């Protein structure tokens, strides 16, 4: 499938993450593993999917996400375990704005097991460089409105965006980084 605006302009994706639950934290002497459940939301505009409200009086439709192009944004720094994701919906609005929502189960190895953990999560595209697909933070920090863990509290939550230039390529590779600080209650 072709990226929106293929060969013309950059496709801009607004990206956000909502932490639902910390499913498990396994601590060891040399390593630790955190498994979490999050919702990922991405918004982008695809003019090929726009329609006239006068001609078709439907404002929003929900379609099979496998029928259209979608950003290949992935978690870069996952642990050796498979990151499972399930895409629940892709919604299109008459203006051509597309929203993709889905759950993601992530496993991450923090640097040092302790009572306080700093967990960075780096998201970006594997295929498209920044002149083709650019990522922006939709909301500052992770959305914690659904998080209610009894064992781990959140002592810090921030997000940032940067574009990295690699040795192999001149193009920028944008990434979004969330840093979640957990503290044992």
pLDDT digit string (tens) for 20-31? 888 877 766 556
Question: Residue 87: its pLDDT value, please?
Answer: 54
Query: In this predicted structure, which of 43-52, 86-95, 140-149 has the lowest mean pLDDT?
Result: 86-95
- Is residue 176 within 8 Å of residue 124, measured between CB atoms? yes
Q: How confident is the model at residue 89 (pLDDT cuts 50, 70, 90)?
A: low
Q: How confident is the model at residue 79 (pLDDT cuts 50, 70, 90)?
A: low
Question: Residue 112: its pLDDT value, please?
Answer: 54
Structural domain including 63 reads: 11-141+149-184
Question: Residue 100: its pLDDT value, please?
Answer: 73
Torsion-angle region of 10 (φ positive above 0: left; ψ -120 to 50: alpha; else: beta): beta
- Is residue 75 within 8 Å of residue 83, measured between CB atoms? yes
> What is the number of domains present in the chain?
1
pLDDT tens digits, 120-173:
888 999 899 999 999 999 988 999 999 987 788 899 999 999 999 988 888 999
- Is residue 76 within 8 Å of residue 123, measured between CB atoms? yes
64 in any annotated domain = yes
Exposed, middle or buried by CB within 10 Å (0-12, 13-18, 19+), for 112? exposed
Candidates 48, 28, 43, 22; CA nearest to 148 is: 22
Question: Residue 184: its pLDDT value, please?
Answer: 79
18 in any annotated domain = yes
For tokens 């979640």, name the residue.
180
Q: Is the pTM of this model over 0.95?
A: no
107 in any annotated domain = yes
Q: What is the 3-state secondary structure (H, E, C) of 84-119?
A: EEEEEEEEEECCCEEEEEEEEEEEECCCCCCCEEEE
16 in any annotated domain = yes
What mean pLDDT do residues 9-36 have? 80
3 in any annotated domain = no
Question: Residue 110: its pLDDT value, please?
Answer: 58
For 32, residues 6+ apart whose C-beta sits below 8 A from its C-beta are 25, 26, 109, 110, 112, 113, 117
79 in any annotated domain = yes
Q: How confident is the model at residue 181 (pLDDT cuts 50, 70, 90)?
A: confident
Q: Which two structure tokens, joined as six digits, stand for 134?
A: 């650019």
Query: Which CATH number belongs to the domain containing residue 95 in this structure?
Result: 2.70.170.10
5 in any annotated domain = no
4 in any annotated domain = no
Question: Residue 132: its pLDDT value, please?
Answer: 92
């Amino acid at each position: 499938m072709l990226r929106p605006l293929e060969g013309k302009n950059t496709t801009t994706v607004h990206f956000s993450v909502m932490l639902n639950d910390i499913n498990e934290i396994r601590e060891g002497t040399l390593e630790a593993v955190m498994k979490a459940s999050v919702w990922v939301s991405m918004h982008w505009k695809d003019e090929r999917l726009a329609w006239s409200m006068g001609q078709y009086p439907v404002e929003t439709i929900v379609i099979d996400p496998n029928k259209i192009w979608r950003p290949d944004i992935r978690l870069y720094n996952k642990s050796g375990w498979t990151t499972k994701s399930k895409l629940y919906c892709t919604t299109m609005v008459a203006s051509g704005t597309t929203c993709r929502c889905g759950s993601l189960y992530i496993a991450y190895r923090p640097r040092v097991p302790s009572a306080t953990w700093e967990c960075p999560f780096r998201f970006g595209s594997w295929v498209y460089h920044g002149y083709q697909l650019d990522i922006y933070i939709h909301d500052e920090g992770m959305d914690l409105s659904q998080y209610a863990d009894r064992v781990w509290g959140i002592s810090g939550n921030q997000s940032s965006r940067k574009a990295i230039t690699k040795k192999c390529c001149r193009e920028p590779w944008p990434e979004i980084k969330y840093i979640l600080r957990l503290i044992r209650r």
